[in-house]
Chains A and B, each alone.
Chain A
Amino acid sequence: DGGITQSPKYLFRKEGQNVTLSCEQNLNHDAMYWYRQDPGQGLRLIYYSQIVNDFQKGDIAEGYSVSREKKESFPLTVTSAQKNPTAFYLCASSTPPGPGLTIYFGEGSWLTVV
């Protein structure tokens, strides 16, 4: 089945640790995204990548890092510099840029700082 796979579903992080969230897609999309969602809130864009080996900061990139070495993969690292990382993280990919641009989401990853 075509889709976006995020792992792990649940992750616990100790203070001062970096953690990496995995995102893999087999939709053959060039563009991929990471969003953060806090309880009862909308989506905020962390980073996006329009093509392999290229990515741009979104609205809340501080404390996060990404890489895009392969078309299928767009991992997100939550660094110790992120002061309030507990949230629901959503990875997405989209059809080519154009008037009909449509975005598809993974099932999300819950990150909790303990």
Chain B
Amino acid sequence: SQQGEEDPQALSIQEGENATMNCSYKTSINNLQWYRQNSGRGLVHLILIRSNEREKHSGRLRVTLDTSKKSSSLLITASRAADTASYFCATVSYSGAGSYQLTFGKGTKLSVIP
């Protein structure tokens, strides 16, 4: 089952603009992660934010987490054509008996136009 839901499903912007993608989830989480997938390739881990963190930066990436609203956003600043990819959020939640469940959203397809 999928817990994370990304919004929008698709986003098209001009090179140099900022891109913002959102992820909403339903249950309490331990951490939330963002992944990138180039067409026909595997997913690449971008950034992890823990449930007790509110904001995290990595290069041109900025992730925020609002646990009260059960939502996260990924901001890519000064976008480049090479940022064109699908972006997925994934949540890690404790599922009992020492187990943790990782669930993915359906992704946002970002197109950056040169």
By a beta-carbon cutoff of 8 Å, the part of chain A in contact with chain B is 4, 6, 40-43, 50, 59, 88, 90, 92, 94, 97-108, 110
What CA separation (Å) do A108 and B39 show in the bound complex?
A: 11
What CA separation (Å) do A97 and B92 show in the bound complex?
A: 10
User: What is the distance, in angstroms, from B100's C-beta to the closest C-beta of chain A?
Assistant: 5
A107 near B100 with CB under 8 A, answer: no
Interface of B is mostly: strand
What CA separation (Å) do A106 and B43 show in the bound complex?
A: 8
What CA separation (Å) do A110 and B39 show in the bound complex?
A: 12
A residues near B2, Cβ cutoff 8 Å: 42
By a beta-carbon cutoff of 8 Å, the part of chain B in contact with chain A is 1-2, 30-31, 33, 35, 40-45, 48, 50-51, 88, 90, 92, 94, 98-100, 102, 104-107, 109
B residues near A92, Cβ cutoff 8 Å: 43
A42 near B106 with CB under 8 A, answer: yes
What CA separation (Å) do A107 and B38 show in the bound complex?
A: 10
Chain B residue at minimum C-beta to C-beta distance from A59? B1
A100 near B102 with CB under 8 A, answer: no
A residues near B98, Cβ cutoff 8 Å: 97
B104 near A43 with CB under 8 A, answer: yes
What CA separation (Å) do A4 and B2 show in the bound complex?
A: 24
B residues near A108, Cβ cutoff 8 Å: 40-42
What CA separation (Å) do A88 and B86 show in the bound complex?
A: 15
Knowing A42-B106, A99-B30, the reply to whether A105 touches B92 (Cβ < 8 A) is no
Which A-B residue pairs are the 10 nearest by beta carbons?
Answer: A42-B106, A105-B42, A99-B30, A105-B43, A107-B42, A97-B100, A43-B104, A101-B92, A101-B100, A108-B42
A42 near B42 with CB under 8 A, answer: no
B residues near A100, Cβ cutoff 8 Å: 30-31, 48, 50
Contacts A97-B100, A100-B31, A107-B42 given; 4 further ones with Cβ under 8 A? A6-B42, A40-B109, A98-B100, A101-B102
